[in-house]
Structure 1
Amino acid sequence: MNFKVLFYLLFFVFILVMNWESQNYMAAASFHDEVSQDEAIRLRILANSDSIKDQILKRDIRDEVNATITDWVLHIDSMDEAKDVIEANLDEIEAIVADKLAKSGINQSFNVEFNRVQFPTKLYGHLVYPAGEYNAVLITLGNGNGENWWCVLFPPLCFLDFANGDAVEHDERNSGVEAAEAETETEGQEVEVKFFVIEIFDTVKGWFTA
């Protein structure tokens, strides 16, 4: 067996596999457009707890706050104008939260603010909103220890999350699950590539031993 020839063949196969992986990555990346953190206004609502009652309250507030702010910004094209409108009407958002609490018979503190808020990565179709700080309406209900809900208020994209049945929840607890799923997917891809290389190696080896 000519091990030198075998070495060059395996090296050539390795280059082909790496090039194939690189092309796949570049193709996937070119399909998505990344949105700047300064081109969006987002909404984040922190529930008091994960109890059914607190989560229902969070969703009720979510629905009305989103509908109200969407009416404000639907026909606005300027990011600065949308920001000014939302900041100027925070008291109306506070009134919505207070009204929902009263109707639910829940004696709970809350806080509404417009600030720079941390968000995880989110994909809407071909638009990627990378993880980072965004201008956002942050509503904290009670202790703010429950699962939170978030979406994009400007340009209005919250309806995409509603269409999916609910927003993607994200906090320290479920982010670990998401990371584990992503890690499992990556490991699965690596295993597939490794098996692919091994199969080619066995094929080439068979040629030399035949």
Structure 2
Amino acid sequence: MLPDYEIKKAPSIGKQIDAVIFFVWMLLLIQFCLFLLFPQGEEVEGIRFRLIANSNTIEDQQVKNNVKHHIEPILLKYENNPQETYNELEQVVNKLSNKLDTTITITKGEAIFPPKVLNQGISSQLMTESIVISIGNARGDNWWCALFPKVCYKEEVEKEKPKFWVWEWLKKKFST
């Protein structure tokens, strides 16, 4: 008499394919979560600049754009001589405050930069070395940039879109 042995069947091909698909989906999910938690390309070195409008009315936004137009050429010189450029910014802000008959203040130091929605994801709120110009109550939309590298000027920098390595691997695997 032979002992009873349980005969096990090999897993079917369908179950193996399901396992591979599940594995690939899990890799994509992990990469997506990492991408959301650690957005690429947002953090920049150097000082940041922020110009905050009095309010979101059309008139106040026009005042903000007028101030931006006057200070943008000065900001281009910031990297070469920060203190002299900051002094020049103060002078221009004081002149504009008198000319536009509104309170415009400039401060330099640590400031909170609010979270922003960018192409790469959401940047976190952070304290950073900054120059902040506030117009009136400073309750409107703002214009901000990082001065190193110069991302706030008219020059467009072509950015490479983020790639998911699993997706790229799958495309390469099945394209042949």
Q: Same fold (TM over 0.5)?
A: yes
Q: 1:60 maps to which residue?
A: 66
In 2, the alpha carbon distance for the partners of 1:43 and 1:50 equals 19
> What are the equivalent positions in structure 2 for 1:89-104 lying under 5 Å apart?
89-104=85-100
In 1, the alpha carbon distance for the partners of 2:106 and 2:64 equals 13
**Pairwise CA distance, 1:100:** 2.5
1:24–1:50 distance in 2 versus 1, CA, 3 Å: closer
* Partner SS, residue 159 of structure 1: coil
* Partner SS, residue 135 of structure 1: strand
Is 2:51–2:144's contact at 8 Å kept on the other side of the alignment? yes
**Pairwise CA distance, 1:136:** 1.1
1:152 pairs, out of 114, 137, 146, with: 146
Is 1:35–1:130's contact at 8 Å kept on the other side of the alignment? no
Q: What amino acid does structure 2 have at the position aligned with 1:16?
A: V
Q: 1:207 maps to which residue?
A: none
1:7–1:147 distance in 2 versus 1, CA, 3 Å: same
In 1, the alpha carbon distance for the partners of 2:26 and 2:46 equals 36
Aligned residues: percent identity? 24
Q: What amino acid does structure 2 have at the position aligned with 1:145?
A: R
Which structure has the bigger radius of gyration? Answer: 2
With the length of structure 1 as denominator, give the TM-score of the two structures: 0.53
Per-residue CA shift, 1:119-173, capped at 9, x if unaligned?
235769x9x976422211101111111111101123322114x769xxxxxxxxx
> What are the equivalent positions in structure 2 for 1:119-134 lying under 5 Å apart?
119=113, 120-121=115-116, 131-134=125-128
Size of the aligned set, in residue pairs, is 144
1:111 pairs, out of 88, 105, 108, with: 105
Is 1:57–1:101's contact at 8 Å kept on the other side of the alignment? no
**Pairwise CA distance, 1:28:** 10
**Pairwise CA distance, 1:18:** 1.6
Q: Per residue, is there more helix in 1 or in 2?
A: 1
Q: 1:86 maps to which residue?
A: 82
With the length of structure 2 as denominator, give the TM-score of the two structures: 0.61
> Unpaired segments of 5 or more residues in structure 1?
77-84, 165-210
In 2, the alpha carbon distance for the partners of 1:27 and 1:11 equals 24
In 1, the alpha carbon distance for the partners of 2:145 and 2:117 equals 9
Is 2:74–2:88's contact at 8 Å kept on the other side of the alignment? no
**Pairwise CA distance, 1:67:** 1.0
